[in-house]
Amino acid sequence: MKDDEIIDQYWDRNEIAIVRTSEKYGSYCHTISYNILNNDEDAEECVNDTWMRAWKSMPPQRPNNLATYLGKITRNLSLNRLKQYTTEKRGGSQTDLALSELEDCIPSSTTVEQIVEEKALVASINRFLYAQPEQKRNIFIRRYWYLYSIRNIAGAYEMSESKVASILFRMRSELKKHLEKEGISL
C-alpha cells in the first residue's frame, strides 16, 4: 500500500491505517528504537506508542514522507525513554556515546535564539551531508541518526572499526569547519 493511501486512512479515521503502518514500517521503527534502547520489549512499546502518536497527530498533520515522520516519532519516544532510564542510573550507552561525539560540532539548543536558528543549522548540515560521497554520508547518518554502533557500521560496510571511527572523526571535524564557515556559532 502506498504512503498516501495510508495517510488518507488516518485522515478518514480508519483504524486499518495502524495495521498497514505496522506492516510496512514496523521493522524500520523497531530497528530505530532498538538501536537506542538495546531492549526488545522497550523498543516494541515505543513502536506501539509511535502508532498511537501517528493516530493522534493525523489529522491535522499531513506528512510529506511517512517513513521519516514515523522514524522521527519513534526516535524521539525512544530517546525520551532512554533519558528517563538514565536519569535514575548513569550508564555508558551507545546513544550517549554517539551523541557526545557530536557535542563539539552542534550547538546546544538552550536559548530561544538557538531554537530560532535551528532551521539554518539543519539546512547547513544537510548541505554538508549531500556534498559527501554516498558511503561516508550513510555512515554518518547510521551513526548519528539511527545510532548504530561503530561495530555494526563496520560490519555493514566490511571495514575495520578503526576505519569507521576515523571516517566519523574526520567528518565531525569537517562538519565543524563547515558550520563555522557558514557563520553558525558553536
Q: Which class does domain 3-88 fall in? A: mainly alpha
Which listed CATH number (3.30.1490, 1.20.81, 1.10.10, 1.20.5) goes with 95-181? Answer: 1.10.10
pLDDT at 138: 93
pLDDT at 54: 94
pLDDT at 116: 56
User: Chain-wide mean pLDDT for the chain?
Assistant: 85
What's the pLDDT tens digit per position in 65-115?
999 899 999 999 998 888 887 665 555 556 666 666 666 666 554 555 555
Omega cis (within 30) before 133: no
pLDDT tier at 146, thresholds 50, 70, 90 = confident
Domain locations along the chain: 3-88, 95-181
Buried b (16+ CB within 10 A) or exposed e, 122-145: eebbeebbeebeeebebbbebbbe
pTM: 0.66
